Structures are given as structure tokens and as C-alpha cells.
Amino acid sequence: MAECGSRLILAFDFGTRRIGVSVGNELLRSARELTPLPARDGIPNWETISVLVDEWQPDLFVVGLPLNMDGSESTMSTRARKFGKRLYGRYGKPCEMFDERGTTREAKAIAREQGHGGNYRKESVDGIAAVLILEGWFAQQEGLPAR
């Protein structure tokens, strides 16, 4: 495992049609968007995820946890937790869940600023959301409030 503080992390924004992905370095506190993965009813092509794991050799996975605004669990949060457990089971790397409330809304605002208009199906915001999840996780590790 990498030295503490210099871990490589793959983060996921779980969805039923697409799963956003970002990669980041804990030491640099930087995250960048990777190509979102197609999913069928929340089930990704695990071979594609294996290619990402082989390429990036992450030390940790972070999965966005879509809680309700009042902090309670939702059907999607249960499914995201299951996805995180499958990541751990398949690859043997620790997986942490991160409260992602507000990231999709923020990702859509960022996409608008970047000139993507309102067509979120064509111009997926899932990768941007995965970056926001990882950046929020970095801030939490430092004891800072998320953006």
C-alpha cells in the first residue's frame, strides 16, 4: 500500500444508467474526471471496472452515498452501498462511502458554466459529480467543510 497521505483513489457517482468515475491523489488533493461507465439498472460492466483498477492501481475506492436531504437512507443509497460492497469484494481494496448530497445539482451548475447547456443526457454530469465527491472526501479528511 502507498504511504499514508499519498494514496491513489478511484471515486464513483453511482447511478442506474451511468456511473461517474474520477481518479485522485490524496497527497495532491486533486481529482480528475474519467469517462463515465454505462450501467444497466445500476449494474456496470465489471470487466470495464477491472481495466480501470488494473490501470490506476487504486489504494481506496470512494462511492457517493445519495442520502435524502434530511440525511435518511434512500433506495439509491442502499444500491450505492451494495455497489461499494461489490467493489470491495471483487478487488479487496477498502471502500468508503461519502455523503454526496448536492453534488448532482452542483455538477449541473458547473456543466452550465462550461457551456453544456441543459442537455444532461448528452453531456453527462456524472464524471463532474464523481470529481466533486472525491474533492469533498479530501476536504473531509482534512477536517474542512465540503464545498
Query: Hey, what amino acid is at 78?
Result: T
Sequence ranges of the domains in the chain: 8-141
Is 142 strand, coil or helix? coil
pTM: 0.88
Q: What is the pLDDT of residue 120?
A: 54
CB 60 within 8 A of CB 25: no
1 pLDDT tier (thresholds 50, 70, 90):
very low
Cα–Cα distance between 36 and 38 in angstroms, integer? 7
pLDDT (tens digit, 9 = 90+) per residue, 67-92? 998 999 999 999 999 999 999 999 99
Q: What is the pLDDT of residue 117?
A: 57
Q: Which fold has domain 8-141?
A: Nucleotidyltransferase; domain 5 (3.30.420)
Where would I find the beta strands (DSSP E) of the chain? 8-13, 18-25, 30-40, 43-44, 60-65, 95-99
pLDDT (tens digit, 9 = 90+) per residue, 94-138? 999 999 987 878 888 888 887 765 555 545 788 999 999 999 999
- 62: enclosing H helix or E strand: strand 60-65
Cα–Cα distance between 110 and 132 in angstroms, integer? 10
- How much of the chain is helix, strand and coil, in % rounded to 5? 35, 25, 35
Cα–Cα distance between 66 and 77 in angstroms, integer? 5
The grid coordinates of residue 31 equal 481529482
CB 16 within 8 A of CB 41: yes
